[in-house]
Each structure stands twice: as structure tokens, then as C-alpha cells.
């Protein structure tokens, strides 16, 4: 048995060799492209009509087939064994909610989409190493960030005349052009995805990804550095209050994890208690002085009607607190009870703008408990991976997860598309055996970063 396990691990390492997996890597990019495109189509609260739905569905089916194929060829049994039980139960509850769902057909459709995302996530876990996954996400985020700047630059430069020269425009393109083009006038930019909050979230994930790229790569480090600067700039011009809070949480998590590495258990836990206390006090003051805080950030005290949306969602939850209304992933337009539930200033909203309330609404108290357990276990596992390993690479899943957890307070996208993909990857791959990880040195990451920061200075002195 031990020999079979070692052989299985060796096969996994061979499958994760970037030089021998060009075709799987292509499907990795296609999977991420498909889900990010889905994010963009669901922008404007999931109901933005788009002329590329057919193309997207064809791409999704093709990508899903390829991911499934390479998953089966890889060490899929080990990966299946690493799937947390709460994730399996949550998926079972999604389809299991169809008998009492208020929209049974949409529940089945939503579950089918989630199964596809799970297959894609398991494909990433089985086929790629952590370094390869980071590389795929880094390149995809680069396209989003630099593409968003290009879109906004063109829209800002030709504002007022751009719509007249586009031969294939429709009402949605005209509306998108009207929202874009604020790169020079101080307005919020919408970017490549047509949604400022979406672009800001990807920008924060870009900051995390490119900062780690700078730390772990030796070749073309200037590309990662330029991408890091562009991502920071994108957060500034996108002006998303929720991402500002997520950025603070990411910074705190990064600092605490770096300080805790290499320390004894008592010292680590003391750091954790201090961090939780500071964050608790900060949250209390933000809650008490939220009007002043949000006005300083240029936002309304209710964070753009979110408190009103949450009240309406809670009223629905109170009608079915245990079983929920049935899983759908996204609120489907024209389907009760969501159709007309939240209409503010003539604009319909089709999400709870809170992933945790949305899960409670759809799958009841049981679903919410399973979801929280899944998030908690994934956080603990990624924290251990990031703190106990000396390679800065392994901070990436932790900090990206923190981004998604905090983002889930004001957005529901943690339940769907690319955010759900990341959650599945982190929940499963954080349990990879030590033999599949890169070498763990005795030098803590903080010391490595100090040496890295001194190299440019020493080079300048030698000139």
C-alpha cells in the first residue's frame, strides 16, 4: 500500500510538470476565461443582456469537457479523497433543495452550473502545482487590469463620439459606453468587465498575486512589478468601498502571518489574539461612526442601499429560515420571490449583496452552517499552509481567500463563477500532502523578503 501511495504521488508530480502539460494548461486558461466572462455577463446584478451568450455556452461546454478529461487522466482519486465533507454535503443540499424549491427548474439548472465549476476546480487541483495555478491566475488578471485601462482610455479619449463609430452596437453597449470613460474626470471606471466593484476585486487579487510573483520569481520580475503598480492604481480609480476594507484585511493577514512564522505556539497565538482584538475594535468603531467613515470614502452610510436590500432579504429568510427558498446561485429575473423584490431608483437588484445572507436565503440555516464550516476549515488550512511553509508562494491562497471572505460581506459572488472556483481549489488543494509542495527551507519568509529588498540597493551601490 505504501508503495502504491508513493507511486501515486510520483504520478501526480509528473502530471504537474509544466513542460509536459501544455494542453491541460490551455484548458486551465479556458476555464478561468469562461468563468470570468460569466462574471462579466452577470455584471449589473446578474441580468445584463449580452450578445455573446451562445459563444459563452459553447466555450463553457468545450472547456468543461477538456477539464473533465484531464481530471480523469490525473490522480483524481487522491483529489476526490481530499474534498471536504461539508463541500459534498453542501452540493447535495443544493440539488436536494429542489423538492421544496420555489423554482425547481432553476434549482436544477443552478446545480448543474455548480457541478461544472466543481469539475473545473478539481481539474486545477489534480493537474497543476500551486506555482502553476498562481501563474495562470496572474496572466489572466494581467489581461483584466491592463485591458480595463485600455477600455477606459479609449472611452475617455473618444467620449461622445465612440458610440457613433461602433458598427455592432446595441442598447447594452451604448449604456456601457455611457458608464465608461471616467479615467480623467475622477468618476468610477467600469473597466473590461463593465462593473467597478468587479474590476476592483480583481485588482486587489492582482495586488496579492503580483506581490507574491515579485517575491518568488527571478526572471522578468519587472513584469510582475509593473502589474502590481497597475493593480494598485486600478483599486484607486475603481473606488470600491468594500474592496478598501478587504485590502485592510489582506494587509493585516499578511503582516500577522509573516510575523507568526517560525515562532512557538504560544507566541503565534498571542499575535492572533492581538490581531483579532484590533480588528474587533476597528469594526466596532466603523459600525458606530459608519456615517463619517463612508462619507470619507465617498459612499452613503448604507453602502449604496445595501442595508435596504438586506432588510428585504431578511424578511424573505424569516418566512423559510430552516429550509430556504431553494438553490439557484443567481437570482433569476422573472422568478418569484426575487422578481421585483429589490427595485431602487428604477433599478432592479438580483443579488442579496451579501454571500452569507444569500446562502441562508437559498439553502436555509443548514446550508449557511455548512457554508460557514467550509469557509472556516479552508481558512484554517490555508493559514497553516501559509504560516508553516517558508515559501511566499503559499501565502497566495490565504490572502486571496481573505479577499473573497471580506468581499462576501457586500457582494454575493462567492456563491458563483470564479469566486466559487477559487474556494473549491483552496478547500481541496490546501490538503495536498507535503510531498507535493515545494521545498521548505529554514529561513522564514520575512528574512527572505529583507534580503530581496536589499538586492536592488546593493546593485545601485556597485554602479
Instruction: Match 466593484 to its residue by C-alpha cell.
Output: 197
Q: CA dist 88 to 170, 179, 232, 345, Å?
A: 42, 41, 37, 40
Contact between residue 199 and residue 189 where contact means Cβ atoms under 8 Å apart: yes
pLDDT at 254: 92
Neighbours of 290 (CB within 10 A): 15
Kindly state the cell numbers that stand for 10: 510520483
Contact between residue 189 and residue 182 where contact means Cβ atoms under 8 Å apart: yes
Contact between residue 325 and residue 102 where contact means Cβ atoms under 8 Å apart: yes
Measure the N-to-C terminal CA separation of the chain; round to a whole number of Å: 59
For 257-299, the DSSP string reads HHHHTT--HHHHHHHHHHHHHHHHHHHHHHHHTHHHHHHHTT-
pLDDT by residue, tens only, the chain of 463 residues: 334 343 444 444 444 444 346 889 999 999 999 888 877 766 554 445 455 667 788 888 999 999 999 999 998 999 999 999 999 999 999 999 999 999 999 999 999 999 999 999 999 999 999 999 999 999 999 999 999 888 888 777 776 555 555 554 555 555 555 566 667 777 778 888 878 888 999 999 999 999 999 988 888 889 999 999 999 999 998 888 888 889 999 999 999 988 888 888 888 888 888 888 887 888 777 766 666 666 666 666 556 678 888 999 999 999 999 999 999 988 888 888 988 888 877 777 788 889 999 999 999 999 999 999 999 999 999 999 998 888 999 999 999 999 999 999 988 889 988 999 999 999 999 999 988 888 887 777 777 766 666 655 444 344 4
Question: CA-to-CA distance for 310 and 356, rounded, in angstroms?
Answer: 11
Query: 394, 435, 386: which is closest to 16 by C-alpha?
Result: 435
pLDDT at 442: 72
Question: CA-to-CA distance for 129 and 379, rounded, in angstroms?
Answer: 19
Question: CA-to-CA distance for 139 and 33, rounded, in angstroms?
Answer: 11
Question: CA-to-CA distance for 163 and 455, rounded, in angstroms?
Answer: 50
Alpha-helical regions (H) of 158-238: 171-179, 196-216, 221-238
Q: CA dist 48 to 1, 42, 52, Å?
A: 53, 6, 11
pLDDT at 447: 74
In the Cβ-directed half-sphere of 94, how many Cα atoms lie within 13 Å?
A: 24
pLDDT digits (tens, 9 = 90+) for 144-185: 999 988 888 877 777 655 555 555 455 555 555 556 666 777
What's CA 186's distance to the chain center, in Å?
A: 27
Q: CA dist 439 to 390, 412, 453, Å?
A: 9, 37, 22
pLDDT at 196: 84
pLDDT at 86: 96
Question: CA-to-CA distance for 331 and 352, rounded, in angstroms?
Answer: 9
Instruction: Match 455573446 to its residue by C-alpha cell.
Output: 52
pTM for the complete prediction?
0.88
pLDDT at 20: 43
pLDDT at 452: 63
Neighbours of 15 (CB within 10 A): 18
pLDDT at 348: 77
Question: CA-to-CA distance for 412 and 405, rounded, in angstroms?
Answer: 10
Instruction: Match 446545480 to its residue by C-alpha cell.
Output: 111
Query: 65, 36, 213, 116: which is closest to 424 by C-alpha?
Result: 116
Kindly state the cell numbers that stand for 262: 517560525
Question: CA-to-CA distance for 13 and 74, rounded, in angstroms?
Answer: 10
pLDDT at 6: 37
pLDDT at 23: 87
385: left (phi over 0), alpha (psi -120 to 50) or beta: alpha
The pairing of beta strand 347-348 with beta strand 343-344: antiparallel
DSSP type of residue 83: S
Amino acid at each position: 500500500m505504501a508503495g502504491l501511495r508513493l507511486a501515486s504521488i510520483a504520478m501526480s508530480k509528473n502530471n504537474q510538470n509544466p513542460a509536459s502539460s501544455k494542453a491541460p494548461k490551455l484548458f486551465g486558461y479556458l476555464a478561468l476565461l469562461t468563468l470570468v466572462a460569466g462574471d462579466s455577463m452577470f455584471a449589473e446584478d446578474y441580468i445584463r443582456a449580452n450578445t455573446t451568450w451562445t459563444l459563452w455556452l459553447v466555450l463553457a461546454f468545450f472547456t468543461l469537457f477538456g477539464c473533465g478529461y484531464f481530471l480523469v487522466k490525473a490522480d483524481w482519486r487522491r483529489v476526490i479523497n481530499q474534498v471536504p465533507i461539508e463541500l459534498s454535503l453542501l452540493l447535495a443540499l443544493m440539488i436536494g433543495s429542489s423538492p421544496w424549491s420555489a423554482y425547481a427548474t432553476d434549482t436544477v439548472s443552478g446545480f448543474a452550473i455548480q457541478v461544472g465549476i466543481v469539475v473545473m476546480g478539481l481539474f486545477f487541483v489534480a493537474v497543476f502545482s500551486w506555482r502553476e495555478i498562481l501563474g495562470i491566475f496572474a496572466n489572466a488578471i494581467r489581461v483584466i487590469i491592463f485591458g480595463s485601462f485600455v477600455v477606459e482610455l479609449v472611452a475617455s479619449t473618444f467620449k461622445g463620439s465612440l458610440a457613433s463609430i461602433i458598427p455592432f452596437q446595441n442598447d447594452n453597449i451604448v449604456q456601457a459606453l455611457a458608464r465608461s470613460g471616467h479615467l480623467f474626470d475622477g468618476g468610477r471606471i467600469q473597466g473590461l468587465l463593465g462593473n467597478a466593484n468587479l474590476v476592483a476585486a480583481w485588482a486587489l487579487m492582482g495586488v496579492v498575486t503580483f506581490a507574491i510573483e515579485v517575491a518568488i520569481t527571478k526572471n522578468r520580475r519587472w513584469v510582475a512589478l509593473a502589474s502590481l503598480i497597475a493593480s494598485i492604481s486600478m483599486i484607486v480609480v475603481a473606488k470600491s468601498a468594500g474592496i478598501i476594507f478587504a485590502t485592510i484585511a489582506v494587509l493585516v493577514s499578511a503582516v500577522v502571518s509573516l510575523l507568526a512564522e517560525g515562532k512557538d505556539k504560544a507566541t503565534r497565538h498571542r499575535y492572533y489574539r492581538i490581531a483579532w482584538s484590533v480588528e474587533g475594535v476597528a469594526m466596532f468603531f466603523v459600525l458606530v461612526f459608519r456615517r463619517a467613515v463612508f462619507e470619507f470614502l465617498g459612499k452613503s452610510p448604507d453602502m449604496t442601499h445595501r442595508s435596504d436590500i438586506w432588510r428585504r432579504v431578511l424578511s424573505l429568510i424569516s418566512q423559510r429560515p430552516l429550509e430556504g427558498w431553494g438553490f439557484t446561485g443567481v437570482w433569476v429575473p422573472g422568478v418569484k420571490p426575487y422578481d421585483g423584490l429589490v427595485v431602487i431608483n428604477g433599478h432592479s437588484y438580483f443579488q442579496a449583496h451579501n454571500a452569507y445572507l444569500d446562502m441562508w436565503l437559498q439553502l436555509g440555516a443548514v446550508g449557511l452552517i455548512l457554508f460557514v464550516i467550509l469557509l472556516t476549515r479552508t481558512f484554517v488550512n490555508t493559514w497553516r499552509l501559509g504560516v508553516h511553509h517558508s515559501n511566499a508562494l503559499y501565502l497566495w491562497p490565504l490572502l486571496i481567500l481573505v479577499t473573497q471572505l471580506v468581499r462576501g460581506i457586500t457582494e454575493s459572488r462567492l456563491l458563483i463563477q470564479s469566486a466559487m472556483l477559487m474556494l473549491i481549489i483552496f478547500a481541496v488543494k490546501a490538503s495536498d500532502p507535503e510531498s507535493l509542495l515545494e521545498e521548505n527551507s529554514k529561513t522564514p519568509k520575512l528574512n527572505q523578503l529583507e534580503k530581496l529588498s536589499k538586492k536592488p540597493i546593493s546593485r545601485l551601490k556597485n554602479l
